[in-house]
Structures are given as C-alpha cells and as structure tokens.
Amino acid sequence: MKKAMLLCIAFLFSAGANSATLDLTAEGSNGATQQQVTLNNNNVVLGGGVVASSMTNWSSMFNVTSDTTTSVDIEWSFNPVRNLVSASLAIFALDGSFTEIYNITGDFTFSAVLLAGKTYGLDILDATSHALKYDVSVSSVSEVPVPAALFLFAPALLGLMALRRQTKLASA
C-alpha cells in the first residue's frame, strides 16, 4: 500500500502540462495603421490596428508561430462592429501546405492547429469598412489540464484502494 501511495505522489509531482509559447509579429498593412500589442504570457498573443476613415480593399498581415504543436483559438474583433462592411480572413502556412479563408461581416472566432516551428500567416484581406479599430487574439488551448485531472483522480484511486482493502479485511 505504501508503495502504491508513493507511486501516486511521485506521478502527481512529475507530470505537468506545458502550454505552447506563441509568437505574433506584425507583417504590414495597406490602408490601416497596424499596432502590435506585446502581451505574451506564453499562450496568448495580441495584435491590432486602426482604420482612420472609410476605406475599401485595406489589409493587415500578421505571422504566428508556436514552439509545440498546439490547438489555438483565433479571434478577430472590430470596434464598432457595425462599421465593418466585409472582409476575408485567411490563415495559411507560409510554406503553402495549408490555407483556410473565411468571408466575414463582423467579429469572428475560429480554431486551428499550429504545428511546431511552422510559421502561419493571419491576414485580413480585401476589407471594406468605415473608421474602426480591429484586434486579433491568438490563444493556446490546453487539451487536458493534466495537473488538475491528476489531483482529482489520485484521491479517488486511493479511496477505491482503501475500500478494497476494507472489504478484504471484513471477509477474512
């Protein structure tokens, strides 16, 4: 029993979930003033910009990389949202192996998987709008919070082991 308890405790302290470290860089814009917000707490990165007056065919480009393969949520938001007439959002691998394009008319969120070490473009293209501010947020999604799951699983496992032992002692 002591060996089992020590094994559980060692497993709890040795297991850990490392979230991905993301990096977002501003790559330029056409018709918009691009701003890069450096809020990088390893798993969330932000960028944005401003369109000062009514524009057609403006664009803004960002690149994002991850140190590990990870699922991410990508959110584009516009303020005020009613000022965005139309736009195309693109996420693509710079090596050409992946491209996804969305036609939007307001705030938009989607999920993607970023492969380790690969650079992806996050672009807003052919946008038509009145004056507005836009933001892009990329956040890493942890599939399973391992430490929390283990702290909940270990006491349950120990309780089942104790119940089994009591049953064996009662039947003897």
101 is in which domain, residue-wise? 22-145
Where does the pLDDT of residue 167 fall: very low under 50, low under 70, confident under 90, or very high at 90 and above? confident
7 assigned to some structural domain: no
Query: What pLDDT digit, counting tens, does each position of 95-106 carry?
Result: 988 889 999 999
13 assigned to some structural domain: no
How far is it, in rounded angstroms, from Cα 97 to Cα 65? 15
Q: What pLDDT does 15 receive?
A: 46
Q: What pLDDT does 16 receive?
A: 46
Tell which wins on pLDDT, 1 or 129.
129
Quote the number of domains for the chain.
1
2 assigned to some structural domain: no
Query: What pLDDT digit, counting tens, does each position of 142-151 carry?
Result: 655 566 666 6
118 assigned to some structural domain: yes
56 assigned to some structural domain: yes
How far is it, in rounded angstroms, from Cα 16 to Cα 18? 6
83 assigned to some structural domain: yes
117 assigned to some structural domain: yes
Q: What is the pTM of this model?
A: 0.70
137 assigned to some structural domain: yes
Whether pLDDT at 14 is above 50: no
Closest Cα to residue 120, out of 96, 89, 93, 88? 93
The strand pair at 132-141 and 55-66 is best described as unpaired
Where does the pLDDT of residue 2 fall: very low under 50, low under 70, confident under 90, or very high at 90 and above? low
Query: What pLDDT digit, counting tens, does each position of 36-60 carry?
Result: 665 555 677 788 888 888 888 899 9
Q: The CATH number of the domain where 48 resides is what? A: 2.60.120.260
- Which helix (H) or strand (E) segment is 22 a member of? strand 22-30
134-154 in b/e burial notation, b at 16+ Cβ within 10 A? Answer: bbbbbbbeeeeeeeeebeeee
List, in sequence order, the alpha helices (H) in 32-133.
none
